[in-house]
Amino acid sequence: MTRSLLLGCIADDFTGATDLANNLVRAGMQVVQTIGVPRAPVSDVDAVVVALKSRTIPAAEAVAQSLAALRWLKAQGCGQFYFKVCSTFDSTPQGNIGPVAEALLEALGADFCCVTPAFPENARTVYKGHLFVGDVLLSESGMRQHPLTPMTDANLVRVMQAQSRGRVGLVDHAVVRGGPERIRARIAQLRSEGVRLAIVDAVADADLLALGAALRDAPLVVAGSGVAIGLPQNHGLAPRPEAAALPEPTGLRAIVSGSCSVATQGQVADFLACGGAARAIDPLQLADDREGLVAATLEWAAGELKEGPVLVYSTADPGSVRAVQQRLGVQQAGALVEDALAAIAKGLVQRGVRQLVVAGGETSGAVVQALGVEQMRIGRQIDPGVPWCHAAAPACDAQLHLALKSGNFGSADFFRKSFAMLA
């Protein structure tokens, strides 16, 4: 008999979905992440995380996509639902956190949910409803100048109220510290006052564990990835190695990097310093002869792969990136490089690569699409937020291990560490 799904999650972006899946695995659940609403059913796991790209699209579209994901998860028999939002609460007065949360509540026939982006391990804490990013208020962090979702108010009760129809309240830290019973009592009180959504304070893992226990019977949780550490315990699950078990690694090893973030620059430099086989991709040369450069890179890789992992990278310092963008245009340069790196990743898998590390959020999206990956089983964490995954790549008729690392994640030796962990 197949197990029924305990938790159905809807994430508003791809790397956020992986972050949530990773936390659920660490807390003892077996998890599959899907790219968009899946076509095929998923079996033999405790939780599914459906990754959408709905954070900054028009609110009505975000609602429609989230409801489609909810319908699919309900059809799989999920008992509880989790809407994963950004840990910096990225949103505007138009949404999308409020509209999606309220639409999910309505579709579930529920009248209340808790909301918190807190994840103390990642330096996201909420106190008296105010979100701190590291040592500063959200409104004083870099998020103040975000191009799409500038966060100029750290008071999440106010931020949430501006984008919600129902009343927004607060479960403050004095209550959370009092434990699950106190939290449940406060929730009952807020509900009786007609509050529909409540921001919850949390400044330490103990707060998230208490909140998780209090939310045992809640139909919907709206949160960053932090609350995930407190939910598996409600099903008698505790951290265990089997949760992260993946099939045995096989095949050749490669890294494809299109991230120009500071952490990735360090990781590429580390790989080069250790004498790894690497090939840089020049976007201007790509613009001249994409086919020729992709073919030449794959031919070079074919000669090196047997010796050890190869690295193909467009990673460059900000000065070089700006120069390329001035020549080609920002969007055009990005799309050109993503498309070429995705073609190279596919070519590498066709040449026997079965352990693939991809650096860059957008780059990962392009690679996953080129490989035709629809779902990934989540394995052990390499560095915070980045697990090894295992997936079918129908475009190459292959199964492989994948690690998708967004920009600023991972230590300097991340590439070497990744393969060492699989070996």
Stretch that binds ligand ADP, among 140-148, 152-160, 166-174, 319-327 (CB under 6 A): 319-327
CB of 287 to ligand ADP, least distance (A): 11
What six digits make up the tokens of 6?
């305990």
CB of 314 to ligand ADP, least distance (A): 3
CB 417: neighbour CB atoms within 10 A? Answer: 16
Q: Which is nearer to ligand ADP, 165 or 327 (CB)?
A: 327
What six digits make up the tokens of 88?
């910096």
**Per CB under 6 A, 362 contacts ligand ADP:** yes
**Per CB under 6 A, 361 contacts ligand ADP:** yes
CA distances from 127 to 68, 120, 181, 202 (A): 34, 11, 20, 7
DSSP assignments along 2-19, one per residue: PPPPSEEEEESSHHHHHH
**Per CB under 6 A, 13 contacts ligand ADP:** no
Distance, C-alpha 332 to centroid of its chain = 25
Q: Which is nearer to ligand ADP, 80 or 314 (CB)?
A: 314
Count Cβ atoms within 10 A of the Cβ of residue 307 and give its class: 0-12 exposed, 13-18 middle, 19 or more buried.
exposed
Q: Which is nearer to ligand ADP, 201 or 362 (CB)?
A: 362
Q: Which is nearer to ligand ADP, 25 or 359 (CB)?
A: 359
Q: For the chain, how big is the Rg over CA atoms in Å?
A: 22
CB of 51 to ligand ADP, least distance (A): 15
Among 259, 267, 375, 418, binds ligand ADP (CB under 6 A): 259
CB of 60 to ligand ADP, least distance (A): 26
Tell me the β-bridge partners of 404: 358
Tell me the β-bridge partners of 220: 81
CA distances from 147 to 53, 84, 143, 375 (A): 17, 21, 9, 30
CB of 324 to ligand ADP, least distance (A): 4
**Per CB under 6 A, 163 contacts ligand ADP:** no
Q: Which is nearer to ligand ADP, 28 or 385 (CB)?
A: 385
**Per CB under 6 A, 129 contacts ligand ADP:** no
**Per CB under 6 A, 12 contacts ligand ADP:** no
Tell me the β-bridge partners of 171: 200
CB of 206 to ligand ADP, least distance (A): 32
**Dihedral of alpha carbons 92, 36, 20, 177, sign:** positive
Q: In the range 55-114, which residues lie near ligand ADP by CB under 6 A?
A: none
**Per CB under 6 A, 386 contacts ligand ADP:** no
CB of 260 to ligand ADP, least distance (A): 5
On whether the CB atoms of residues 289 and 329 are closer than 8 A, the answer is no
On whether the CB atoms of residues 23 and 225 are closer than 8 A, the answer is yes
**Per CB under 6 A, 324 contacts ligand ADP:** yes
Quote the DSSP letter at residue 45. -
Q: Which is nearer to ligand ADP, 207 or 338 (CB)?
A: 338
Stretch that binds ligand ADP, among 177-185, 240-248, 314-322, 391-399 (CB under 6 A): 314-322
Q: Which is nearer to ligand ADP, 245 or 262 (CB)?
A: 262
Cα distance between residue 2 and residue 8, in whole Å: 16
What residue has token string 């393969």?
Answer: 419
What six digits make up the tokens of 283?
């976007």
Residue length, the chain? 423
**Per CB under 6 A, 267 contacts ligand ADP:** no
CB of 13 to ligand ADP, least distance (A): 11
Q: Which is nearer to ligand ADP, 227 or 337 (CB)?
A: 337
**Per CB under 6 A, 338 contacts ligand ADP:** yes
Element housing 399 (H / E): strand 398-405
On whether the CB atoms of residues 359 and 259 are closer than 8 A, the answer is yes
What residues make contact with ligand ADP under the rule CB under 6 A? Answer: 258-261, 264, 283, 314, 316, 320-321, 324-325, 333-334, 337-338, 360-363, 406-407
